[in-house]
Amino acid sequence: MLQLIQKLGQTTLASFSKLGRSSFYLGHILKCIPSILLRPRLLVNQLYSVGVLSFLIIAISGLFVGMVLGLQGYYTLSDFGAEASLGVMVAASLVRELGPVVTALLFAGRAGSALTAEIGLMKATEQLSGMEMMAVDPIQRIITPRFLAGIISMPILGVLFSSIGIFGGHLVGVGMLGVDNGAFWAQMQAKIDFRDDVINGVIKSLVFGFTVTWIALFEGYDTVPTSEGVSRATTRTVVNSAFAILGLDFILTALMFGDH
Amino acid sequence: MQHSPTQDTLVGLFVASGIIGLFFLAMQISNLGSFVDEDTFTVTAHFQNSGGLKIKSPVSMAGVKIGQVSRISLDTDHRAKVEMKIQARYTNIPSDTTASIFTAGLLGEQYVNLEPGGLDDNLTDNSEIDITQSAIILEQALGQFLFKKSADK
Amino acid sequence: MENTTRPNQHLVSVRNLTFFRGDKKIFDNISLDFERGKITAIMGPSGTGKTTLLKLIGGQLTPNSGKVLFDGQNVHQLALAELYELRKKMGMLFQSGALLTDLNVFENVAFPLREHTQLPESMIRTLVLMKLQAIGLRGARNLMPSELSGGMARRVALARAIALDPTMIMYDEPFTGQDPISLGVLLHLIKALNTTLQLTSIIVSHDVQETSAIADYIYIISEGKVVDHGTPAQIQQSESEWVQQFMHGDADGPVHFHYSAPDYIDDLFSNAQH
């Protein structure tokens, strides 16, 4: 029993110390942002590996999620004779929730784990240390461009996920199940609000992008520099990101849509 | 890092597709598309009961959406004062138009329906619609129906 | 000791340095001096924190007490920007080479130049090719680090370390895991760079023969203390049995072949009784 409490105490202290370290780390990254904006070449490279390379998985998932929504929505709504609201249902679910959340989860699995592994390996092979000895700050040169790229990529990917998803819903609803095309779009336009729904969705994506990239880059930088350490860190990135995304989503949803 | 023109192009396409996606969401999916760059004029109508009408509820005429509710408040006579923004291009709405609050389907949302009258002068900014018909409240309607039934017996 | 140190003679001075890693004492009040333009070796068994010492000199780690002076400046009292400025005068060759894996050989050597100078591309190309020529890998400029052998990677890392023309270069275990030819090349390079560029060199190693062959001065460290120091010839004549065992690689001596254990016979029989 005593051991259990002792263990709990140790875990708590360890989490606090990790939180502290990651905050300093974040502060350091934020300080480096202006210098990276002066070297956009570094940012473009990372936008490619973080954003462009995640595009395919996001596009395919978005299409299928939209199609499933179209199908499920149709069967539920047709019970009430409200098939015309299918467009609203698909678009609202995607723009408010599924777009930002599923994109962030996929991003954590695709780009987040890759970032952790990359940084972790750079640490394990002394590349980060070597850079320090060449008087180059690795946080500025390596970490900050990746951080910015993550924050920029996530909303873009989220918007693309939602857009492609709506096409998927349209494909199934209008194309296959015969929902009226005009009603599909008109109801959607009447019900979805640009600021309340679309912009709030983008804000969610920004918050998730910030969080997932921060977690991924910190786990990589904080990794035990062995191959086992890197693989553990990669797992932690995906798991912690998922928790963070879902928890934050609840908080953000309550804040954004709570007063309706 | 080593860079290639292809990479630049792909990143450019990626960012551009994001902007196009957002534009698509703004114009095609949300209500932003129906109001951008469009002047509106405001008309007011007083209802006994505005029911489930909300800000941004559509205002339509003959089934075509021509505006939306911009403000709902209580006037001095304890009636609901509903302000509507009508798109400026609809200048030929007669001033004796009737405003009613309808429900789209049994469970659908409520909207303001304008039924055109026959006068020659039209509604302009800040004009008032005099003839109104309140929202039908399902509970009230049912109550009246049952009351009538029992009275008939 | 302090008053005999003339600042212009020693580029780096380590003074009364103590360093803990967790609860473990890695260095216990040690002092070392590294003379300008000479090759000084730090030798000792594995796990004595020789690499840690290099990181302390480079300011990547901070000692618990004591100080490191580089050209008269206390490394650990500098602001971060000053420390980075100072590091431009230090090169370090990591054991693994620490080449940036996503850049080819040419770009790796060009990396510090691109980061720290605004030189035009043609100038960078000339400088990089000169450095690559010096280490004999000008022809390998388009290879990626994954395509290099261990020895070649270390040579490229060496070219990168001297790209900014530092005053000092630190070698971390440069001879470990090298075949005889690579070893010969590295020995030749370290010696040649030291004389042609007037570099001050610090070599950390446990390869006795190779290091003795090129070092001007040797420090032997064990269990956090300097056990002996002197020229290679002096070290060979050391009276310490431990140093003799280390230098000759004897299997048994003051450091026993057997890890401390109960009596062998007793141990075997105690097991049989169970």
Per domain, the residue ranges of chain A are: 23-255
Q: What is the ipTM score, two decimals?
A: 0.83
Interface partners of chain A (CB pairs < 8 Å, 3 or more) are B, C
More confident of the two residues C262 and C187:
C187
pLDDT classification of C102: cutoffs 50, 70, 90: confident
Question: What phi and psi, each to the nearest 5 degrees, are found at residue C96?
Answer: -85, -5
- Fill in the amino acid letter for C103: L
Q: How far apart are CA C3 and CA A169, in angstroms?
A: 83
Q: How far apart are CA C5 and CA C36, in angstroms?
A: 12
The 3-state DSSP class for residue B67 equals strand
Q: How far apart are CA C192 and CA C184, in angstroms?
A: 12
Distance from CA of B1 to the nearest CA of C (A): 6
Ramachandran quadrant class, B51 (left: phi over 0; alpha: psi -120 to 50; beta: rest): left
Tokens 């049912």 found at = B142
pLDDT classification of A168: cutoffs 50, 70, 90: very high
pLDDT tops 60 at residue B87: yes
Distance from CA of A87 to the nearest CA of B (A): 9
Q: Dump pLDDT digits (tens) for A209-238.
A: 999 999 999 999 999 988 899 999 999 999
CB contact under 8 A, A51 and B28: no
Question: What phi and psi, each to the nearest 5 degrees, are found at residue B76?
Answer: -65, -20
As a 3-state breakdown, chain A gives helix, strand, coil percent values, each rounded to 5, of 90, 0, 10
Q: What is the pLDDT of residue A38?
A: 86
Q: What is the pLDDT of residue B3?
A: 58
Q: What is the pLDDT of residue C46?
A: 78
CB contact under 8 A, B29 and A45: no
Could you tell me if C102 lies within 8 Å of chain B, comparing CB atoms? yes
Q: What is the pLDDT of residue C262?
A: 79
CB contact under 8 A, C84 and A135: yes
pTM given for the model? 0.80
pLDDT tops 60 at residue B35: no
Nearest residue to C88 via CA among A35, A131, A140: A131
Question: B2 to chain C: which residues are within 8 Å by CB?
Answer: 102-104, 107
Tell me, rounded to whole angstroms, the distance of Cα C44 from its chain centroid.
12
* Chain C residue with minimum CA distance to B3: C103
Q: Dump pLDDT digits (tens) for B45-72.
A: 888 888 778 887 888 888 787 888 888 8
Tell me, rounded to whole angstroms, the distance of Cα A42 from its chain centroid.
21
Q: Dump pLDDT digits (tens) for A136-149.
A: 889 988 999 999 99
pLDDT tops 60 at residue C5: no
CB A39 within 8 A of CB A68: no
Distance from CA of B59 to the nearest CA of A (A): 11
CB contact under 8 A, B7 and A45: yes
Question: A59 to chain B: which residues are within 8 Å by CB?
Answer: none
C-beta contacts of C184-189 below 8 A and 24+ residues apart:
C185/C136, C185/C151, C185/C155, C186/C151, C186/C154, C186/C155, C187/C213, C187/C214, C189/C134, C189/C135, C189/C155, C189/C158
Partnered with residue C169 across adjacent β-strands are: C91, C201
* Chain A residue with minimum CA distance to B11: A48
Interface partners of chain C (CB pairs < 8 Å, 3 or more) are A, B
Name, of A228-232, C20-24, C42-46, the range with top average pLDDT.
A228-232
Q: How far apart are CA A207 and CA A245, in angstroms?
A: 9
pLDDT classification of B37: cutoffs 50, 70, 90: low
Quote the DSSP letter at residue C259: P
User: Is A145 exposed, middle or buried (CB count within 10 Å of its CB: 0-12, 13-18, 19+)?
Assistant: buried
Residue in C84, C98, C160 closest to A129 by CB: C98
Q: What is the pLDDT of residue C3?
A: 43
Query: What average pLDDT does range A114-122 have in this prediction?
Result: 93
Question: C103 to chain B: which residues are within 8 Å by CB?
Answer: 1-2
Could you tell me if C107 lies within 8 Å of chain B, comparing CB atoms? yes
CB contact under 8 A, B108 and A82: yes
Question: C104 to chain B: which residues are within 8 Å by CB?
Answer: 2
Q: What is the pLDDT of residue B106?
A: 63
CB contact under 8 A, B14 and A163: no
CB C97 within 8 A of CB C156: yes
Quote the DSSP letter at residue B122: B
Q: How far apart are CA C53 and CA C224, in angstroms?
A: 10
Distance from CA of C74 to the nearest CA of B (A): 34
Mean confidence (pLDDT) of chain C:
84
pLDDT classification of C2: cutoffs 50, 70, 90: very low
Residue in A129, A137, A141 closest to C60 by CB: A129
More confident of the two residues B138 and C92:
C92
Interface partners of chain B (CB pairs < 8 Å, 3 or more) are A, C
Ramachandran quadrant class, C139 (left: phi over 0; alpha: psi -120 to 50; beta: rest): alpha
* Chain A residue with minimum CA distance to C163: A134
CB contact under 8 A, C87 and A141: no
Question: C102 to chain B: which residues are within 8 Å by CB?
Answer: 1-2
